Chains A and B, each alone.
Chain A
Amino acid sequence: MNHNSQEQLIDYLHHALAPEDDAAVYAHLENCSACRAAYQDEAALGEALRAQAAAEERDMPSGVVASIWAAIEASQRRATLADRLLAWMRPAVMVPVMAVVVVALLLVPHFTPSSPTQTIDAAYYLQAHAALGGTMPFADTDVVPASLENLGQGQTTAVAVTPTMVTADVQP
């Protein structure tokens, strides 16, 4: 008997399988207690995540949503302004302007912009710090692989936990 893979079970759980595959997984689950247990584990995990999300109210606060919409509207307003500027850049205006710029560049060659300055991404320093800190058995650096956090950027969830006094209350 070919058991269902974890990927198949997850896809089945999320109704992401093709109809014939969905039917095959369904039939297999009816007859295989091991796969049924694995399926129930996955389903329980999903429920736990949903329950946790609900309990911690990790939806974006309405203020954040409003600020995002405000930013979108502002960018649209800027686009309108850009359109107006483009209207000014018609050939009748731009040709003489460009001629002046070309002459200026020819007369003042030393003002030609230099190549962009080299930089080192701050992410390198954060990762290298975490990597070398890996030799500290209980270091305060993160135990979660930094590379996974980088892969998953945009998928973490900001929560409303303010850096106030929380605990560390038990003194020996």
Chain B
Amino acid sequence: MSSPSREAIASLCAAACLLGASAPAGDPSQLLRRAMDAPANVSFVGEVQDLEIGESKSVVTIYRIEHRSPDLTQRWYEAPQSLYGDSVVSRGSVSYNVDVKRGRVIVDRNDALDDQVAIADNFDLLAENYRVFFAPDQIVAGRPARVLLLVNKHTGETTMRVWIDSQRDLVLQKACYAANGSLTSQVRFEQIRYTQAIPQGVFDVPSGLPRVQGQSHALPSNDIAAMVKAAGFKARGPKYLPDGFVPVAGDVSDVSGVRTLHLLYSDGIRTASLFQNARGVPANTAGYVAHTVRVGDDDAQFVQEGATTLLAWHGGNGLYFTLVGDMSRHELIKIGASVEP
């Protein structure tokens, strides 16, 4: 066997030095944790591009956002505002959806957004199921960014890539990938400017428009057994979940007078929601392109909305199930087929 030449050894050393130089120092998990808290520390205005890739179509939307810390007040609107006009102003758990076309403000409430304990717990769940690695630094929206890969410990697949502002710790770009490595969604800042000088008037909700009560989501519970009991009917759950998935939250709500149990499953990044009601009230998919698929022995309606998939079917005994997740049709059907008492 011939020994390697000096040139080859020198090349290897040079390559090793280059790799060493491009591998950023620091603890990637700590950086990810700081990025989670960054919105409470920085104020900014920016332009965001949101790309969602579906099976049959993909949609890209450009938004502008004004964000003020530390009270996490935000205004989102589709750019250019002069053309579209609709906007969402959010303060903590309440959001005001300004619907210019219909001349009204829809007020939504989502107490989950203020649940810091749950958010911290779920970060721990992420750390349990994902390894975090540095990738070479990049530039996003003119800002130097450190790049993190979130690799699923069970499958070895890169599930998410996150670009974090090197100086401000804010997430500048986030890309999600399917099991086969294909991109499913991406959100990125096209422009960003950090500033504290955002006039209060920016966040004022127009006073001349009538306010309409929209969706209201109470603080979810992580006591799943209590939630199932509170449903008031014999609920079912999936026997199969992807590796790392556990039930993380649930709530019971009346939807148009129908008592509905909602259970959220997650591995810290990917999520799936199982809804069920005992009155057999079906999901109305009229506004979507729905396909009929088989879930076990039952016919089901399958809908893909961007990267989000929905499966709805009668499960027998008067139960009606709706499963929503950011996963493939195959994976959703596999979970749905395993739903048993």
Contact = CB atoms under 8 A, between A and B. Distances in A.
A167 B268 CA distance: 22
Contact of B324 (A129, A139, A166): A129
B269 A138 contact: yes
A123 B303 CA distance: 11
B262 A144 contact: no
Contacts of B214: 147
Interface string B130-149: 01010110000000000001
A37 B138 CA distance: 29
Among A46, A123, A134, A135, the most chain B Cβ lie within 10 Å of the Cβ of A135
A126 B48 CA distance: 22
A123 B287 CA distance: 9
A128 B84 contact: no
> Size band of the B side of the interface?
35 or more
Contact of B115 (A124, A135, A147, A148): A135
Contacts of A133: 264, 266, 271, 273
Contact of A14 (B82, B151, B310): B82
Contacts of A157: 59-61
Contact of A137 (B55, B60, B64, B119): B119
Interface in B35-94: 36, 47-48, 50-55, 57-64, 76-82, 84, 86-88, 90
Contacts of B306: 142
A120 B266 contact: no
A11 B82 contact: yes
A125 B283 contact: yes
Contact of A140 (B53, B185, B217, B322): B185
Contacts, number: 260
B187 interface: yes
B160 to A, nearest CB: 7
A47 to B, nearest CB: 11
Interface string A104-126: 00000000000001111111111
Interface of A: 5-6, 10-11, 13-14, 16, 45-46, 48-49, 52, 56, 58, 117-145, 147-149, 151-152, 155-172
Interface of B: 32, 36, 47-48, 50-55, 57-64, 76-82, 84, 86-88, 90, 95, 97-99, 106, 108, 110, 112-113, 115, 118-119, 122-123, 126, 131, 133, 135-136, 149-151, 157-162, 174-178, 180-185, 187, 190-191, 201-202, 214-215, 217, 220, 248-249, 251, 253, 255-256, 258, 260, 262, 264, 266, 268-271, 273, 275, 277, 281-285, 287-288, 303, 305-308, 310, 312, 322, 324-326
